């Protein structure tokens, strides 16, 4: 009887989860072995052909390298800045509340809205960046239109957006640290740097790992600003995996191939999560 | 971080203060710049002059150039609907996980947690197909449906419910309250801070969400603000930046104002809620 009650309570949530998470995940996997249905012609079993297409798709590989580059740059930069921000606003600096707010504000703004603002910064000829570099006597540069800088521009926006968010977790952790550790270090005559390296940093390790996992996951899901800033261009220089998936699935309507790309993304994200569950959690819980 | 002021550690060094402020200015600059541009005539959007005339004209023109009123309505309905359903479903499920022992509980809970890793935004293609079958393409329900069952809300509430003393539950039962009455009278009130936390996180997530709404909507009727803004700023507006920044600020304004008013709650709820 109790079991029946419990299942009834769970039913609505489980049905929706099954319909929009479990089933689509399984169906994506199955579909990745079928060709894309066209008109009234249903998809047929093609085995690994979609994956073969993927292996031979230069844009896919470009998206993979870009995404790795993007993640590789965004993750350390945003975590490093977040830590620095948290250490600063954890001190009694003048105007602490305002500083804290300034760091965190980008987090609550819609990505699509802030991308608009950044777009203007990067605009050639009269954008803000151009005016600054122009005032310094540097040559004009089309930041988003140049394959060598487009991805870096997107990375900067992502770091700006994420650092303040991660700061919150560091700040929370710093505030739970025992103040007597600090006094003891001061009495011992340890420098601030030593205090940070020997005491704060090791104690922040669990937070760093938590933030790291989130940063990795975000690194592979971030896509909004690509729409506004570059649309993946120029010449796919700033395509990321999720954007490529969108283009394949919803611009070219190649759903078979899109499923194969989704599988790659799901496997990537799931391995990050599993890594966290099985490896990191065990090492980090040393309360 | 700087070696500026060692031992009398009570006060941070000057360099810390300067560094923190510089970074803060840099961080707020894009927003400050958008505010400047939006409230001044177009000719000042690339030129800074302290006494440039203020104007609301950009907002008026943005408002007239696109059906923002409709987009606002859509987004408001959307986030309210999603949050409402999420809270009800998650409360019921969390209660089942926290206070019932039943065969299959572990598996059911694991099935819930799967969603923490595989979020609906990755399964775009399949979810689109489902919506097409259900005839929900280009509808608000179509945008919200994949997010109705939030694994994160279930997880968060389950943790909270587990922390509520069983004695309260039993006392309520002795008084003759049914399970649902107990849930409503005992658990929900005690978990109020968690509801607030999740509420703020959910509202800001869905207010800002873009990719899925972009795919599933194709008309003004269902388009939320973010998608509307993107349509607005990508059709050639003669690159009138003042109007675009005004529209941008309009889109972000409710969250921004909410954030300025309820800063502490925002920060704490993000802290409490972890992510999503």
Q: Tell me which residue in A13, A17, A118 faces B30 most closely, judged by beta carbons.
A: A118
Contact criterion met (CB < 8 Å) for A116 and B229: yes
Contact B248, A117 (CB under 8 A): yes
Contact B65, B237 (CB under 8 A): yes
Tokens found for residue A255: 């759903």
Average pLDDT over residues B236-261: 82
Position B3 scores a pLDDT of 46
* CA distance to partner chain A, nearest, from residue B89 (Å): 6
Domain of B139 in residue numbering reads as 58-273
Position B153 scores a pLDDT of 93
Tokens found for residue B24: 């803060």
CB-based burial of residue A220 (10 Å sphere; 0-12 exposed, 13-18 middle, 19+ buried)? buried
CB-based burial of residue A58 (10 Å sphere; 0-12 exposed, 13-18 middle, 19+ buried)? exposed
Nearest CA in chain B to A220: B122
Look at residue B158 and tell me if it is in a domain.
Answer: yes
Look at residue B51 and tell me if it is in a domain.
Answer: no
Q: Which of B31, B181, B219 is nearest to A106 (CA)?
A: B31
Q: Which of B237, B217, B114 is nearest to A16 (CA)?
A: B114
- The answer to whether residue B179 scores a pLDDT higher than 80 is yes
Position B275 scores a pLDDT of 42
Among the ranges given (B51-60, B84-93, B223-232), the one the predictor scored with the smallest mean pLDDT? B51-60
In this prediction, the answer to ipTM > 0.90 reads no
Contact criterion met (CB < 8 Å) for A249 and B125: yes
Which residues is A45 bridged to in the sheet? A34
Among the ranges given (A149-153, A234-238, B178-182, B234-238), the one the predictor scored with the smallest mean pLDDT? B234-238
Contact criterion met (CB < 8 Å) for B270 and A186: no
- A278/B contact by beta carbon, under 8 A: no
Look at residue B42 and tell me if it is in a domain.
Answer: no
Look at residue B79 and tell me if it is in a domain.
Answer: yes
Nearest CA in chain A to B241: A120
pLDDT tier, B54 (very low <50, low <70, confident <90, very high otherwise): confident
Position A188 scores a pLDDT of 81
Q: Best residue in A20, A228, A270, A280 to probe B by mutation, most B CBs within 10 Å?
A: A20
More confident residue, B226 or A142: B226
Look at residue B237 and tell me if it is in a domain.
Answer: yes
Contact criterion met (CB < 8 Å) for A192 and B46: no
Tokens found for residue B98: 């926290």
Q: Kindly compute the dihedral angle of the four CA atoms of residues B243, A125, B51, B27, in this order, to the nearest 10 degrees.
A: 80
Contact criterion met (CB < 8 Å) for B118 and A270: yes
Position A286 scores a pLDDT of 38
More confident residue, B11 or A209: A209
pLDDT tier, B209 (very low <50, low <70, confident <90, very high otherwise): very high
Contact criterion met (CB < 8 Å) for B27 and A100: no
Look at residue B202 and tell me if it is in a domain.
Answer: yes
Contact list in A for residue B267 (CB cut-off 8 A) is 100, 104, 168
Nearest CA in chain A to B228: A112
Average pLDDT over residues B151-156: 91
Contact A18, B114 (CB under 8 A): no
pLDDT in tens, B73-92: 999 999 999 999 999 999 99
3-state secondary structure chain B: CCCCCCCCCCCCCHHHHHHHHHHHHHHHHHHHHHHHHHCCCHHHCCCCCCCCCCCCHHHHHHHHHCCHHHHHHHHHHHHHHHHHHHHHHHHHHHHHHHHCCCCCHHHHHHHHHHHHHCCCCCCHHHHHHHHHHHCCCCCHHHHHHHHCCCHHHHHHHHHHHHCCCHHHHHHHHHCCCCHHHHHHHHHHHHCHHHHHHHHHHHHHHHHHCCHHHHHHCCCCCCCCHHHHHHHHHHCCCCCCHHHHHHHHHHHHHHHHHHHHHCHHHHHHHHHHHCCC
- A219/B contact by beta carbon, under 8 A: no
Q: At what angle do helices A255-275 and A205-221 cross, to 10 degrees?
A: 180
Q: What total of structural domains would you count in chain B?
A: 1
Q: Best residue in A3, A13, A160, A219 to probe B by mutation, most B CBs within 10 Å?
A: A13
pLDDT in tens, B103-131: 999 999 999 988 887 888 889 899 999 99
CATH number of residue B82's parent domain: 1.10.3720.10
- The answer to whether residue B227 scores a pLDDT higher than 50 is yes
Position A280 scores a pLDDT of 67
Chain B neighbours among A 116-145 (CB < 8 Å)? 116-121, 126, 128, 131
Look at residue B19 and tell me if it is in a domain.
Answer: no
- Blockwise average pLDDT, block size 10, chain A, 287 residues: 89 94 93 86 85 91 94 95 92 86 89 86 76 76 83 92 91 85 82 84 88 89 86 85 92 91 91 78 50
Position A210 scores a pLDDT of 85
More confident residue, B237 or A215: A215
Look at residue B12 and tell me if it is in a domain.
Answer: no
Contact list in A for residue B10 (CB cut-off 8 A) is 92
């Amino acid at each position: 009887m109790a079991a029946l009650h419990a299942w009834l309570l769970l039913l609505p949530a489980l049905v929706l989860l099954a319909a929009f998470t479990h089933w689509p995940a399984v169906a994506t996997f199955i579909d990745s072995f079928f060709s894309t249905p066209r008109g009234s012609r249903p998809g047929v079993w093609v085995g690994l052909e979609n994956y073969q297409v993927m292996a031979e798709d230069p844009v896919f590989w470009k998206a993979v390298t870009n995404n790795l580059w993007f993640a590789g740059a965004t993750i350390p930069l945003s975590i490093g800045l977040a830590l620095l921000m948290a250490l600063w606003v954890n001190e009694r600096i003048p105007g602490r509340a305002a500083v804290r707010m300034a760091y965190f504000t980008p987090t609550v703004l819609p990505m699509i809205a802030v991308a608009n603002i950044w777009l203007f910064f990067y605009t050639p000829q009269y954008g803000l960046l151009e005016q600054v570099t122009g005032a310094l006597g540097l040559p004009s540069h089309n930041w988003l239109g140049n394959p060598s800088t487009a991805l870096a521009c997107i990375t900067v926006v992502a770091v700006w957006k994420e650092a303040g968010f991660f700061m919150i977790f560091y700040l929370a952790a710093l505030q739970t640290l025992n103040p007597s550790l600090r006094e003891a270090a001061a009495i011992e005559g340890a420098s601030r740097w030593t205090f940070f390296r020997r005491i704060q940093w090791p104690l922040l390790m669990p937070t760093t790992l938590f933030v790291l996992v989130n940063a990795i996951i975000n690194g592979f899901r971030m896509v909004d600003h690509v729409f506004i800033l570059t649309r993946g261009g120029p010449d796919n220089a700033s395509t990321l995996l999720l954007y490529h998936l969108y283009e394949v699935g919803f611009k070219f309507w190649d759903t078979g191939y899109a499923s194969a790309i989704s599988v790659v993304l799901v496997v990537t994200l799931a391995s990050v999560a599993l890594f966290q569950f099985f490896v990191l959690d065990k090492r980090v819980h040393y309360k | 971080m700087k070696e500026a002021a060692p031992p009398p550690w009570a006060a941070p060094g000057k360099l810390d203060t300067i560094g923190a402020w510089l970074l803060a200015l840099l961080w707020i600059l894009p927003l400050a710049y958008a505010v400047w541009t939006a409230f001044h005539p177009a000719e000042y959007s690339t030129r800074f002059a302290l006494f440039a005339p203020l104007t609301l004209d950009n907002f008026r023109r943005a408002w007239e150039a696109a059906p923002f009123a409709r987009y606002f309505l859509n987004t408001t309905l959307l986030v309210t609907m999603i949050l409402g359903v999420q809270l009800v479903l998650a409360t019921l499920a969390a209660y089942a996980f926290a206070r019932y022992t039943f065969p299959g509980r572990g598996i059911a809970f694991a099935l819930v947690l799967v969603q923490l890793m595989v979020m609906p935004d990755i399964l775009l293609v399949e979810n689109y197909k489902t919506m097409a079958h259900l005839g929900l393409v280009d509808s608000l329900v179509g945008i919200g449906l994949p997010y109705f069952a939030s694994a994160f809300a279930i997880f968060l509430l389950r943790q909270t419910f587990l922390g509520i003393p069983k004695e309260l539950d039993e006392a309520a039962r002795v008084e003759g309250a049914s399970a649902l009455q107990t849930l409503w009278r005992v658990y929900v009130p005690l978990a109020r801070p968690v509801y607030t936390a999740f509420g703020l996180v959910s509202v800001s997530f869905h207010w800002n969400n873009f990719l899925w709404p972009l795919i599933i909507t194709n008309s003004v009727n269902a388009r939320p603000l973010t998608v509307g803004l993107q349509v607005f700023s990508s059709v050639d507006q003669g690159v009138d930046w003042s109007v675009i920044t005004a529209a941008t600020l309009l889109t972000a304004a409710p969250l921004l104002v909410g954030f300025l008013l309820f800063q502490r709650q925002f920060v704490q709820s993000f802290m409490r809620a972890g992510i999503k």
